[in-house]
Structure 1
Amino acid sequence: MTNKALRILIADGQHFYRLKIERALNQLGYYRIAPIHRLDEVLSAVEFGDTPLDVLIINAALAHSVKFDLLWFIRDNPQIRHVLIYGQSERASPALAWCHVPNVLISAAPLPDLQALEAFMRKVDGNAVGRGYGAFNWTQR
């Protein structure tokens, strides 16, 4: 069941990509979505937010362009519950890969498709309902 209360942040420099991801999430039943186009806006939203962010979907290029260590920022950050990083590497397979950081899914695809978003959100929703939004670990595939 879709948890319509999830707060979702989409971060990508390309307006079209943000819009495409937002529409896919809308198809899946999620509507509390904020699109952001710069890394400094993401950092401000996370740092100064009054409640933790449920989901961050971010293009890795935002962090790479300024040599920012996104995984270091996400690791053990109580203000971010679940993260999908896409566009991570041209050499990697476009399939989703589970990261060594809990609650983080990394995709080499330049843009997550509907199926990837659905699989990711199923894990987020399943965990939110089952464990009261606590931390969880995804196993490596």
Structure 2
Amino acid sequence: MPNKSLRILIADAQHFNRLRIERLFNQLGYFRVAPVQSLDELLALVEYGCEPLDLVLVNGAMVMGALDLFSFLDDNPQVHHGFIFNERQAPLSPVAGKVRLSRAALPDLASITQLMSAVDCRLPFVGTVISVR
């Protein structure tokens, strides 16, 4: 059962993309989703929000070098988990940590489900475990 109190922020310049991603979260039982269309809105909500965000999803193409988005999400105490999609510099293998990267133009239901298994501690883990020696 999903944790319905998780706070999720979606940042994408295209309204259709924001709507599509929000519906994927709704299918999984997450309804506290805030969509934003610009980098300025994203920065304002993250920096001045009264509660931390559990997950921030950002279209990497929206930033276009204006900000080191990975470092911003990784270093910000107001963000518990980050996911940057449509990121051309994403590694081919998964990276463990607070921020995940994806080359996919849009996340699909399978990638959102796998992402939420890491974000939502109530869900069983979906995916593979990678150990570094």
Q: Alignment partner of 1:80: what SS?
A: coil
CA RMSD, Structure 1 to Structure 2 (Å): 2.3
Structure 2 gap ranges (5+): 124-128
What pairs up with 1:80-99 in 2 under 5 angstroms? 80-89=79-88, 93=92, 97-98=94-95
Residue of structure 1 aligned with 2:112, choices 101, 105, 117: 117
CA distance in 1, matches of 2:131, 2:57: 20
User: How many residues in Structure 1 have an aligned counterpart in Structure 2?
Assistant: 127
TM-score (normalised: structure 2): 0.86
Residues 68-98 of structure 1 deviation map (CA, whole Å, 9 limit, x = unaligned): 11012112211000111100018865xx732
CA distance in structure 1 between the partners assigned to 2:39 and 2:130 by the alignment = 28
Structure with the bigger percentage of strand: 1
**1:93-114 C-alpha deviation (Å, 9 max, x unpaired):** 5xx7325xx3111110000000
Q: Percent identity at matched positions?
A: 45
Query: SS of the residue aligned with 1:115?
Result: helix
Q: Give the direction of change, closer, same or farther, for the CA distance of 1:91–1:40 in structure 2 (3 Å limit).
A: closer
User: Quick check: 1:17 aligned with 2:12?
Assistant: no
Distance 1:140 1:12, change over 3 A: farther
In structure 1, list runs of 5 or more residues that go unmatched: 131-137
Distance apart, 1:140 and its partner CA: 6.9
Tell me: CA distance 1:90–1:106, structure 2 relative to 1, closer, same or farther (3 Å): closer
For residues 22-71 of structure 1, the C-alpha deviation after alignment (integer angstroms, 9 at most, x for no partner) is: 0000000000000000001000001110110111011001222x521101
| Structure-1-length-normalised TM-score | 0.81
1:53 aligned residue: 53
The answer as to whether partners of 2:58 and 2:85 remain within 8 angstroms in 1 is yes
| Shift, 1:139, TM fit | 5.2
